Amino acid sequence: MLIIGIAGGTGCGKTTVVEQIMNELPEGEVGIISQDSYYKDTSDMTYEERTKINFDHPKSIDFKLLRQHLTTLKAGNSIEQPVYSFVDHNRTRETITTHPKHVMIVEGILILSKPKIRDMFDIKIFVHADSDERLIRRVKRDIAERGRDINEVLTRYQTTLKPMHQQFIEPMKEYADLIIPNNKYNTVAVDIVRTIINEKLT
């Protein structure tokens, strides 16, 4: 099994890069693990308390469970990947049965911040995008998909997103094997990733 870690700031275009890589590989050979699924369970808190959590800090992620699940997949066994609700700021009671594949892609803003997780990746990719572009994408997504209002999005960006990006995400570039600028469609970078994957799988 080949495990690829794809990191980068919020709104940088990680999902687009993941889709581009998947389109270059045979159907059924690639599985996805999202860091967002591994936000810690906060059922013991009220909704108001949950809205105040700094979800852009590594402490908000259940890295222990993520590492356990990656180890299980690498051993050839399936896992029950948690399902997270951004509307409720909490895990749901549902899970997604995830089977091991030849290639497992792990994507998320903080996945390179923990050495024990980082060391499990055969390829580490950092997707870079201009900060203004990332903010625009974040505003559009949070309003359209997560039920936020513009003031809430901008306040969270100023108080947590930006400082957490500077402290925990941007410095992780140094651990990346490949940095993909994603302001525009980057066919060269995706072709390089495809070549690396094919070489490691053969």
Please state whether the predicted TM-score (pTM) of the whole model is above 0.95. Answer: no
Q: What CA–CA distances, in Å, run from 32 to 67, 147, 171?
A: 14, 25, 24
pLDDT at 188: 80
- DSSP code, position 186: -
In sign, the C-alpha dihedral spanning 77, 13, 135, 8 is positive
Instruction: Report the candidate in 161, 117, 167, 120 with the shortest Cα–Cα distance to residue 139.
Output: 161
pLDDT at 183: 56
Instruction: Report the candidate in 154, 149, 148 with the shortest Cα–Cα distance to residue 136.
Output: 154
pLDDT at 30: 87
Map out the domains of the chain with their CATH numbers: 2-201 (3.40.50.300)
The span from the CA of 98 to the CA of 5, in Å, is: 17
pLDDT at 184: 58
Tokens 């559009």 sit on residue? 140
Q: Give the other-Cβ count within 10 Å of 79's Cβ.
A: 20
Per-residue pLDDT of the chain (202 residues; tens, 9 = 90+): 999 999 988 777 788 888 888 887 877 888 999 999 999 999 899 988 888 888 889 999 999 999 999 999 999 999 999 999 888 888 999 999 999 999 999 999 999 999 999 999 999 999 887 776 766 777 777 787 776 778 777 777 777 878 888 899 899 999 999 888 865 556 787 788 888 888 877 6
- Secondary-structure percent of the chain, ordered helix, strand, coil, rounded to 5: 45, 20, 30
Collapsing DSSP states into helix, strand and coil, what is residue 81?
strand
pLDDT at 56: 86
The span from the CA of 20 to the CA of 84, in Å, is: 24
